[in-house]
A and B are shown apart, each in its own frame.
Chain A
Amino acid sequence: MKADRRSSIWLNAALASLQSVGARYGLGLAIIIAWQIAAAQAGSVFFPTPLEIVVRSGELWFSGPPSHFFLSEGVFKDVLPSLMRLLGGWALAVVVGGSLGVLVGRSRVVSDIIDPALQFLRAIPGPALIPIFIILLGTEATMRVSLIAFGSVWPILLNTIEGVRTVDPVQIDTARSFQLPFMARMRRIVLPAAMPKIMAGMRVSLSLSVILMVVSELVASTNGIGYRILNAQMMLLLTDMWCGMLLLALLGYGLNATFLQVERRVLAWHRGARQRDDA
């Protein structure tokens, strides 16, 4: 009797969570199933079924020895270098965009001097710079990291400028009246106050970094996910090409989800304060 009730509670909970999962992922699942059926029917070499792509992905990346956590050579030769360049370029964009943004946003003089240059540089699409970057920086990681940084710095820079410009003057006056030194005012007041805007910029630029990483690997490269995709296409390994695309989608999704988690923690105060304001 008692056990019965308990198991029915469990059942209800399971059904409820299944329902919520269904609501969230139902459409995606339906699309995948439809794709599977359509691709199997068509039997085209250009469009392998999702199942084939997943199986092939397993062979490509998870067929390594246990000593390498079952990761195959391709992961170390292509995926990790790509990831390192992506994160390196993005980190550079965060540091440069953040510090330059604070300077431009808090100083009229600096803003007047470099704002026109920034507006001009910003208008150049990142990929258009690949030729000149190759000449200046060669074809190694430096060039690709710089390209990613250059292309993804703008959302961070512009959001930081906007964020530090709109810090509440009462907060600055408070810090000044309590004799906080200049650097402390920047670190303890201006940066945290601007953090919601800065992190919004960081998130946009993270997605840009993924795009730029791939673009940078389509030119004069010898490894990386982008290089693998291009290479597979040229060698008519079309399932491998699709595997690369799937990996990129998962990478982008995973990076964004991870960043959202971090943002939730760092900006918990901001959500709380805003809910309070709305109430």
Chain B
Amino acid sequence: MSLPGTAARANAMTPEWRNRMLTVRGLRHAYSADRLAIAELGFQVNSGEFVAIVGPSGCGKTTLLKLLAGLLKPSAGSIYLQDRIVSAVPEGLAMVFQEYNRSLLPWLRVRANVELPLRYQAINAPERNARVARSLQAVGLAAFERLYPWQLSGGMQQRVAIARALAYQPKILLMDEPFASVDAQTRADLEDVVAKVRMQFGITILLVTHDIDEAVYLADRVIVLSSSPSRIVAQIPVEMPHPRDQITTRASDNFVAIRSEVAKLIRRPAEEATL
């Protein structure tokens, strides 16, 4: 293990590492001696890839994202962002929290909320303003920048949280059920916003969701986790071209086939447990 703040470098030059955004090895996390949240996880995410993580409620998905973001220290295992080991909160990483309404600051207006992280980056004022405007535009909230978060609906608040992460222009974006608790139409719109900005900025995205359809619709690969303490049950590639479409993609044979495969995998461990 390296000291916090120092960056141990892996073999940067090998082709295997050059295209790699995230590497997780033997990751394990226990909140306390008798509370094992993550048993053992190992996976990789390539640059520009969109990976969805699905798993039953309470299986440790939020814990996994917090570990990746350097907000928690793993009990064992290692995490690399590109070729640097994650030992503190890493640069170039943004997170959209599951508790979106609590992660927005009620004393700041929408605009200031989106702008705050940029004030502590080496970005000049014009560039900062441009980024804030562009990301609010992308989530369709340009007209609401002068309001406070608590003056917005739940779905709009989620969009502010997404805009804040986009304005930060991270190399990797972690999203923890960012579309929960909005109506179906808003949800579909937000999914398409994320798919679009991802193509636009080439961000690597790790999306946690327990909606199988959403995972398959958005991702290049779906990682299925077991119930707590979590392990990887399967990784399923989603070979469908981008851009995708809410109606035609979801109706395609390919989509339906992958979707039911994932659904079966999620159900299987539970069935085994009841036997």
Partner-B contacts on A (CB < 8 A): 168, 170-171, 173-174, 176-181, 184, 188-189, 192-193, 195, 269-270, 272-273, 276-277
B89 engages A184 (CB within 8 Å): no
> How far apart are the CA atoms of A179 and B117 in the complex, in Å?
7
Q: Do A184 and B102 have beta carbons less than 8 Å apart?
A: no
Q: Is the CB of A177 within 8 A of B94?
A: yes
* B150-A273 in contact (CB<8A): yes
**Which chain B residues border A269 with CB–CB below 8 Å?**
106-107, 148, 150
Do B117 and A180 have beta carbons less than 8 Å apart? yes
Is B71 in contact with chain A by the CB < 8 A criterion? yes
On whether A178 and B117 interact (CB within 8 A), knowing A272-B150, A272-B151, A273-B150, the answer reads yes
Whether the Cβ atoms of A189 and B71 lie closer than 8 Å is no
Q: Report Cα–Cα, A177/B69, bound state, in Å.
A: 7
Q: Which residues of B57-116 have CB atoms within 8 Å of chain A's CB atoms?
A: 66, 69-71, 89, 91, 93-95, 97, 99, 102-103, 105-107, 116
Q: Is the contact region of chain B dominated by helix, strand, or loop, or is it mixed?
A: loop
> Is B106 touching A270 in the complex (CB atoms < 8 A)?
yes
**In the complex, A277 Cα to B101 Cα: how many Å?**
11
B50 within 8 A of A: no
Contact across chains for B150 and A276 when beta carbons are under 8 A apart? yes
Q: Which 5 A-B pairs have the closest CB atoms?
A: A178-B117, A170-B102, A273-B150, A273-B106, A276-B150
Q: Total contacts A to B, CB within 8 angstroms?
A: 64
Residues of chain B lying within 8 A (CB to CB) of residue A181: 120
CA distance A22 to B66 in the complex (A): 59
What are 18 A-B pairs with beta-carbon distances under 8 A? Answer: A171-B103, A173-B71, A173-B103, A174-B95, A177-B69, A177-B93, A178-B94, A178-B168, A179-B91, A180-B120, A189-B105, A192-B107, A193-B107, A195-B107, A269-B106, A269-B107, A272-B150, A277-B150
Residue in B70, B120, B151 with the greatest tally of chain A CB atoms within 10 Å? B120
- Is B89 touching A176 in the complex (CB atoms < 8 A)? yes
Residues of the A chain whose Cβ atoms lie less than 8 Å from the Cβ of B117: 178-180
Q: How far is the CB of A163 from chain B (nearest CB, A)?
A: 13
Pick from A168, A179, A273: contact of B148, CB under 8 Å: A273
Known: A173-B71, A269-B107, A272-B151. A179 touches B102 (CB 8 A): no
Query: Within residues 207 to 248 of chain B, which ones have a CB less than 8 A from any CB in chain A?
Result: none
Query: Which residue on B lies nearest to A173, using beta carbons?
Result: B71
Q: What residues of chain A lie closer than 8 Å to B150, measured between beta carbons?
A: 269, 272-273, 276-277
Main secondary structure on A side of the interface with B: helix
Nearest to B101 among chain A residues (CB) is: A170
8 further contact pairs, Cβ within 8 A, besides A177-B89, A181-B120 = A173-B66, A177-B94, A178-B94, A179-B91, A179-B120, A195-B107, A270-B107, A272-B151
A contact residues around B107 at 8 Å (CB): 192-193, 195, 269-270
| Contact in complex: A174, B97 (CB < 8 Å) | yes
CA A178 – CA B102 in complex, angstroms? 15
Q: Given the known A-B contacts A177-B89, A272-B151, are A170 and B99 also in contact in the complex, defined by CB atoms under 8 Å?
A: yes
Q: Kindly provide the distance from the CB of B161 to the nearest chain A CB, expressed in whole angstroms.
A: 9
CB of A155, distance to nearest CB on chain B (Å): 22
The verdict on A177 contacting B105 (CB below 8 Å), with A184-B120, A273-B148 known, is no
Cβ-defined contact, A177 with B120, below 8 A: no
- Give Cα distance in the complex from A177 to B90, angstroms: 8
Q: Which residues of A contact B93 (CB under 8 A)?
A: 177
CA distance A119 to B106 in the complex (A): 33
Chain B residues near A179: list those with CB within 8 A.
89, 91, 117, 120-121
> What residues on B are CB-neighbors of A276 within 8 Å?
150-151
A178 interface neighbour in B99, B116, B151, Cβ under 8 Å = B116
Residue of chain A at shortest CB distance from B119: A184
Determine whether the beta carbon of B116 is less than 8 Å from that of A188: yes
Nearest chain A CB to B221's CB is how many angstroms away? 24
Looking at A168, A170, A193, A277, the one whose CB has the most chain B CB atoms below 10 A away is: A170
